[in-house]
A = this chain, B = another copy of it.
Amino acid sequence: MKPLKILHTADWHLGLVSWKSHREIDRLEEQRECLEKLTRVARDERVDLVLHAGDLFHQYYHPPREAIQLAAEVIVELAEVAPFVWLIGNHDWYAVEALQRVFPKNITVIRDMEPRTFPELGVTIFPIPYLPLSRFLADHPGETVQAMVRDRLRRTMEEWKRLFNPRHFHILLGHLTVEELAFYAEANASREVFLKKADFPHGFSYGALGHLHGYTVLEAPFSLCYPSSLVPENFKNPDQKGGFVLVELVFGEKPRIHPVFFESSALLSIDLEKPLGVLEVRRLIEERLRNGRRNYVRLRIPGEMLSPEWFTELRRLRGERFEVVVVEAVWDEEEHRESDQASFDVAALPELFARFAEEEGLSEDVVRLFEVYYHRAFEEEQE
C-alpha cells in the first residue's frame, strides 16, 4: 500500500489583532508571509493531503475583508495541490459552512462527526470538531456535562474502530484540548470538552489536532500532534514558534513527523530594574533582538518606579526591527498582571455571548439586550 504525505496545519487565526489594549498590531502581513511559505512547501513536497485542524479565522463574526481574501487565495491554492480538509474550530467564521457549495470540489469543510473516506488516497478522516459544552447544557446539569461529553467521545472513537478498513490509513482530526496540555492559554474546562491521553483508543494512524498553539507531539497511544499556529501570539508563551508539520504515513510504521517553523517575528520581554533613559532602553532592546525583522517587545517595570512621562516615552519606542507593544507596571503583590488579564479579554464578551446565544438558539434580541447592559456597565466602569 502506498505511503501518504500529509501537510497538517491549524490555528491560522486570520484577522488576529494583538495587544488591543496597549499598542494594536495587525498580524495579517506576518500571517501572509507564513502562508506563502506553507503553500510553497505543499507544492514543492507534492503532499497528498492538506489537513486544517480548525480556527482558520480568528473571528466568528465579520473577519476583516483582507483576512477573508487571504483565506480564499490560500485555500484555493492549496486545493490545487491536494484535497484540502478543514475542520471547524471555535474561532472559525460562522459563514464558512454555509458557503461550502461555492468552494472548489476538493475542499471539504467539516463541522460534524461523520467519517470521510478518500478512496483514491486510501485514507479515512474521523473528525471531532470543537464541542462547546453549552450545546449539551440544556439536557444536563453543568457539573456532569464535562464527564458526559468526554464519555460519549470515548465511545464514539471505539465505535469508529469498527469501521476501520485494513487497507486504509485512519486519521483522527480534532479541534480539542488534551488535558495533559491544558496549561495552554486556549484551554478552558468550563467551555469545552477535555480528553485525557488515555481516552484515545489504539489503532489510529495519526491524530491531527488543533486548538492549542505551540508545536507538541504526544506519543501514546498513537502519535497525536499539535502543529502550532502561524505567529507567536502573546507573552504567556513568548517562546512559542509558529509552524506546521509534514507527516509521512507508511503502513506498519510510526508516522514520521517533520515540523517546519516560521520565523516571521519574535516576542521579547524585558524587565527594567532601574529608570534608564529612552536611548539606553533602545540600546538594551536592540542588543537582545531575537528575530531579523520583527520583534514585539514587552517592558515590565516596577510600579513604584514608573512615572507617567516615562511610561508615555517607552510606549512610543520603536525601531526598524522592533516595536514596544506592552509597557507594564509590576507591583509586588500582583506580579504577573498582564498575563493574568490576558486569560480573559473583557472586550470579547459581547462576541462570546453572541456565539453562546447562537448555539443555544436564543433570539438576536437577547444578544442586543446583552450588548446594551454590557456597554452600560463598561461605561460606568470607565467613569
Contact = CB atoms under 8 A, between A and B. Distances in A.
Interface stretch (A62-70, A193-201, A336-344): A62-70
Contacts of A95: 62, 65, 68, 95
Nearest to A74: B101
A272 interface: no
Interface string A50-78: 00000000000110011011001101100
B65 A97 contact: yes
B98 A99 contact: no
A57 B114 CA distance: 31
A94 interface: yes
Contact of A102 (B61, B75, B372, B378): B75
A371 B97 CA distance: 29
Copies in the complex: 2
A357 to B, nearest CB: 13
A156 interface: no
A22 to B, nearest CB: 14
A143 to B, nearest CB: 31
A103 interface: yes
Interface string A257-270: 00000000000000
Interface of A is mostly: helix
B101 A102 contact: no
A146 to B, nearest CB: 28
A239 to B, nearest CB: 31
A376 interface: yes
A72 B100 contact: yes
Nearest to A358: B65
B98 A65 contact: yes
A379 interface: yes
B371 A69 contact: no
Contacts of A376: 375-376
A68 to B, nearest CB: 4
A3 interface: no
B375 A72 contact: no
Nearest to A104: B102
Contacts of A62: 61-62, 94-95
A66 B98 contact: yes
Interface in A243-284: none
A102 B379 CA distance: 42
Given A72-B98, A95-B95, A99-B99, 14 more contacts: A61-B62, A62-B62, A65-B95, A68-B95, A69-B98, A69-B99, A72-B100, A72-B102, A102-B103, A102-B107, A371-B371, A372-B378, A375-B375, A375-B376
The 10 closest A-B pairs by CB, nearest first: A68-B98, A72-B101, A69-B98, A372-B375, A65-B98, A72-B102, A76-B101, A73-B101, A68-B95, A72-B99
